[in-house]
Structure 1
Amino acid sequence: MANNSTQLSAATALTQLLMEHPDLPEAGWSIGSVMAELRGFVHTDSLAGLLAYQEVLGGDVHVANCYEHLGRTMRRHVLNAVWRDVPVEVVVALPVHAEAVAA
Protein backbone atom coordinates (compact mmCIF):
# COMPACT_ATOMS: atom_id res chain seq x y z
CA MET A 1 0.00 0.00 0.00
CA ALA A 2 1.29 3.47 -0.85
CA ASN A 3 2.53 5.71 1.91
CA ASN A 4 0.60 8.98 1.72
CA SER A 5 3.50 10.99 3.16
CA THR A 6 5.73 9.65 0.35
CA GLN A 7 3.27 10.82 -2.28
CA LEU A 8 2.73 14.08 -0.43
CA SER A 9 6.45 14.92 -0.50
CA ALA A 10 6.54 14.30 -4.27
CA ALA A 11 3.36 16.33 -4.80
CA THR A 12 4.78 19.18 -2.71
CA ALA A 13 8.01 19.15 -4.74
CA LEU A 14 6.02 19.28 -7.99
CA THR A 15 3.87 22.14 -6.70
CA GLN A 16 6.98 24.10 -5.71
CA LEU A 17 8.63 23.45 -9.07
CA LEU A 18 5.63 24.69 -11.04
CA MET A 19 5.00 27.68 -8.77
CA GLU A 20 8.63 28.81 -8.77
CA HIS A 21 9.10 28.24 -12.51
CA PRO A 22 5.77 28.98 -14.23
CA ASP A 23 7.58 29.48 -17.54
CA LEU A 24 8.49 25.79 -17.85
CA PRO A 25 6.80 23.98 -20.74
CA GLU A 26 3.59 22.16 -19.98
CA ALA A 27 4.01 18.51 -19.08
CA GLY A 28 1.90 15.61 -17.93
CA TRP A 29 2.99 14.42 -14.47
CA SER A 30 2.68 11.28 -12.41
CA ILE A 31 3.77 10.60 -8.84
CA GLY A 32 5.28 7.29 -7.77
CA SER A 33 3.16 5.21 -5.43
CA VAL A 34 6.03 3.37 -3.73
CA MET A 35 8.89 5.90 -3.77
CA ALA A 36 8.77 9.68 -3.70
CA GLU A 37 9.44 10.29 -7.39
CA LEU A 38 8.07 12.46 -10.17
CA ARG A 39 7.73 11.53 -13.83
CA GLY A 40 6.93 14.16 -16.42
CA PHE A 41 6.24 13.89 -20.13
CA VAL A 42 6.81 17.08 -22.13
CA HIS A 43 4.56 17.36 -25.18
CA THR A 44 6.70 19.22 -27.71
CA ASP A 45 8.33 18.68 -31.07
CA SER A 46 11.87 19.60 -30.05
CA LEU A 47 14.43 19.11 -27.29
CA ALA A 48 13.95 22.73 -26.19
CA GLY A 49 11.25 21.80 -23.67
CA LEU A 50 13.39 19.11 -22.07
CA LEU A 51 16.40 21.42 -21.98
CA ALA A 52 14.31 24.07 -20.20
CA TYR A 53 13.68 21.54 -17.43
CA GLN A 54 17.37 20.65 -17.37
CA GLU A 55 18.27 24.32 -16.92
CA VAL A 56 16.12 24.45 -13.78
CA LEU A 57 16.67 20.95 -12.39
CA GLY A 58 20.22 20.19 -13.50
CA GLY A 59 20.80 16.52 -14.11
CA ASP A 60 21.69 14.58 -17.20
CA VAL A 61 19.85 14.04 -20.47
CA HIS A 62 20.33 10.77 -22.31
CA VAL A 63 18.85 9.10 -25.35
CA ALA A 64 16.68 6.11 -24.51
CA ASN A 65 14.70 3.59 -26.52
CA CYS A 66 13.00 3.91 -29.87
CA TYR A 67 9.45 2.73 -30.52
CA GLU A 68 6.77 2.87 -33.19
CA HIS A 69 3.79 5.19 -32.76
CA LEU A 70 1.18 5.78 -35.46
CA GLY A 71 3.57 4.59 -38.15
CA ARG A 72 6.45 6.80 -37.03
CA THR A 73 9.63 5.80 -35.26
CA MET A 74 9.98 7.80 -32.06
CA ARG A 75 12.97 8.13 -29.74
CA ARG A 76 12.72 8.98 -26.03
CA HIS A 77 15.07 11.58 -24.54
CA VAL A 78 15.21 11.44 -20.75
CA LEU A 79 16.33 13.90 -18.08
CA ASN A 80 17.14 12.44 -14.67
CA ALA A 81 17.53 14.92 -11.83
CA VAL A 82 16.61 15.59 -8.21
CA TRP A 83 14.36 18.45 -7.04
CA ARG A 84 13.89 19.11 -3.31
CA ASP A 85 15.24 15.63 -2.51
CA VAL A 86 12.74 13.99 -4.90
CA PRO A 87 14.02 12.05 -7.94
CA VAL A 88 12.60 13.48 -11.17
CA GLU A 89 12.45 11.94 -14.63
CA VAL A 90 11.32 14.16 -17.51
CA VAL A 91 10.82 12.64 -20.95
CA VAL A 92 10.22 13.97 -24.44
CA ALA A 93 9.61 11.69 -27.43
CA LEU A 94 10.71 12.95 -30.83
CA PRO A 95 10.39 11.46 -34.31
CA VAL A 96 13.51 9.81 -35.67
CA HIS A 97 14.12 11.32 -39.08
CA ALA A 98 14.80 8.79 -41.80
CA GLU A 99 18.17 9.23 -43.44
CA ALA A 100 18.22 9.45 -47.21
CA VAL A 101 19.70 6.36 -48.76
CA ALA A 102 21.92 6.91 -51.78
CA ALA A 103 20.69 5.03 -54.82
Structure 2
Amino acid sequence: FVVLVGYEKMVKRLGDRGSIPVEVVPFGVPLVTTKLKALGLKPRVRENDGKEFITDNGNVILDCAVKRIASAARLDRELLAIPGVVGTGLFIAMADVVLVAEASGKIRVLKR
Protein backbone atom coordinates (compact mmCIF):
# COMPACT_ATOMS: atom_id res chain seq x y z
CA PHE A 1 0.00 0.00 0.00
CA VAL A 2 1.53 3.30 -1.11
CA VAL A 3 0.47 6.71 0.22
CA LEU A 4 1.35 9.92 -1.60
CA VAL A 5 1.28 13.17 0.39
CA GLY A 6 2.50 16.70 0.05
CA TYR A 7 5.24 17.87 2.41
CA GLU A 8 2.71 20.07 4.22
CA LYS A 9 1.03 16.94 5.63
CA MET A 10 4.13 15.90 7.56
CA VAL A 11 4.03 16.36 11.35
CA LYS A 12 6.25 15.26 14.20
CA ARG A 13 3.33 13.75 16.07
CA LEU A 14 -0.21 12.88 14.97
CA GLY A 15 -2.63 15.50 16.20
CA ASP A 16 -0.15 18.36 15.87
CA ARG A 17 -2.36 19.97 13.22
CA GLY A 18 -5.26 20.03 15.67
CA SER A 19 -7.72 18.13 13.49
CA ILE A 20 -8.28 14.65 12.09
CA PRO A 21 -10.89 13.62 9.54
CA VAL A 22 -13.37 10.83 10.20
CA GLU A 23 -15.40 9.47 7.28
CA VAL A 24 -18.96 8.54 8.21
CA VAL A 25 -21.94 7.04 6.37
CA PRO A 26 -24.67 9.73 6.21
CA PHE A 27 -27.23 7.95 8.41
CA GLY A 28 -24.59 7.48 11.11
CA VAL A 29 -23.64 11.13 11.53
CA PRO A 30 -25.84 11.83 14.62
CA LEU A 31 -24.64 8.73 16.52
CA VAL A 32 -21.01 9.17 15.47
CA THR A 33 -21.07 12.84 16.47
CA THR A 34 -22.31 11.88 19.95
CA LYS A 35 -19.66 9.16 20.31
CA LEU A 36 -16.87 11.45 19.10
CA LYS A 37 -17.83 14.07 21.66
CA ALA A 38 -17.78 11.36 24.36
CA LEU A 39 -14.17 10.62 23.32
CA GLY A 40 -13.30 14.28 23.88
CA LEU A 41 -13.21 15.20 20.20
CA LYS A 42 -14.99 18.20 18.74
CA PRO A 43 -16.50 17.14 15.40
CA ARG A 44 -17.84 19.44 12.72
CA VAL A 45 -19.17 18.54 9.31
CA ARG A 46 -16.72 19.45 6.53
CA GLU A 47 -18.15 21.91 4.06
CA ASN A 48 -17.19 23.01 0.58
CA ASP A 49 -18.60 26.31 -0.71
CA GLY A 50 -21.11 26.37 2.14
CA LYS A 51 -22.45 22.89 1.39
CA GLU A 52 -21.84 19.60 3.16
CA PHE A 53 -18.82 17.93 1.55
CA ILE A 54 -19.65 14.46 0.22
CA THR A 55 -16.89 11.94 -0.55
CA ASP A 56 -16.68 9.91 -3.74
CA ASN A 57 -18.33 7.09 -1.78
CA GLY A 58 -21.27 9.29 -0.76
CA ASN A 59 -20.10 9.72 2.82
CA VAL A 60 -19.63 12.71 5.12
CA ILE A 61 -16.35 13.89 6.63
CA LEU A 62 -16.36 15.01 10.25
CA ASP A 63 -13.29 17.09 10.99
CA CYS A 64 -12.51 16.50 14.65
CA ALA A 65 -10.59 19.00 16.71
CA VAL A 66 -7.95 17.18 18.74
CA LYS A 67 -5.02 17.94 20.95
CA ARG A 68 -1.86 15.86 20.84
CA ILE A 69 -2.77 12.22 20.42
CA ALA A 70 -1.17 10.07 23.12
CA SER A 71 -1.87 6.78 21.34
CA ALA A 72 -2.85 7.10 17.69
CA ALA A 73 -3.34 3.35 17.33
CA ARG A 74 -5.75 3.25 20.28
CA LEU A 75 -7.68 6.28 19.02
CA ASP A 76 -7.91 4.75 15.55
CA ARG A 77 -9.32 1.50 17.01
CA GLU A 78 -11.84 3.44 19.12
CA LEU A 79 -12.98 5.48 16.12
CA LEU A 80 -13.30 2.49 13.80
CA ALA A 81 -15.35 0.65 16.45
CA ILE A 82 -18.09 3.29 16.24
CA PRO A 83 -20.96 2.10 14.02
CA GLY A 84 -21.08 4.28 10.92
CA VAL A 85 -17.38 5.19 10.83
CA VAL A 86 -15.86 4.15 7.51
CA GLY A 87 -12.32 5.36 8.08
CA THR A 88 -10.04 7.88 9.72
CA GLY A 89 -7.25 10.10 8.51
CA LEU A 90 -4.79 8.38 10.83
CA PHE A 91 -3.83 5.56 8.40
CA ILE A 92 -2.31 3.49 11.23
CA ALA A 93 -0.04 0.66 10.00
CA MET A 94 -1.56 0.80 6.53
CA ALA A 95 1.24 2.07 4.31
CA ASP A 96 4.18 0.02 3.16
CA VAL A 97 5.67 3.11 1.51
CA VAL A 98 4.93 6.82 1.84
CA LEU A 99 5.96 9.12 -0.98
CA VAL A 100 6.33 12.72 0.16
CA ALA A 101 6.25 15.39 -2.53
CA GLU A 102 8.68 18.06 -1.35
CA ALA A 103 8.30 21.78 -2.19
CA SER A 104 11.33 21.43 -4.49
CA GLY A 105 9.48 18.81 -6.55
CA LYS A 106 11.65 15.95 -5.30
CA ILE A 107 9.99 12.84 -3.92
CA ARG A 108 11.13 11.56 -0.55
CA VAL A 109 10.51 7.84 0.06
CA LEU A 110 9.64 6.68 3.56
CA LYS A 111 9.52 2.94 4.22
CA ARG A 112 8.19 1.03 7.17
Q: TM-score, normalised by structure 2?
A: 0.32
User: Which one scores higher on RCO, CA 8 angstroms, separation ≥ 6?
Assistant: 2
More strand by share: 1
- TM-score, normalised with respect to structure 1: 0.34
Q: Which has the larger radius of gyration?
A: 1
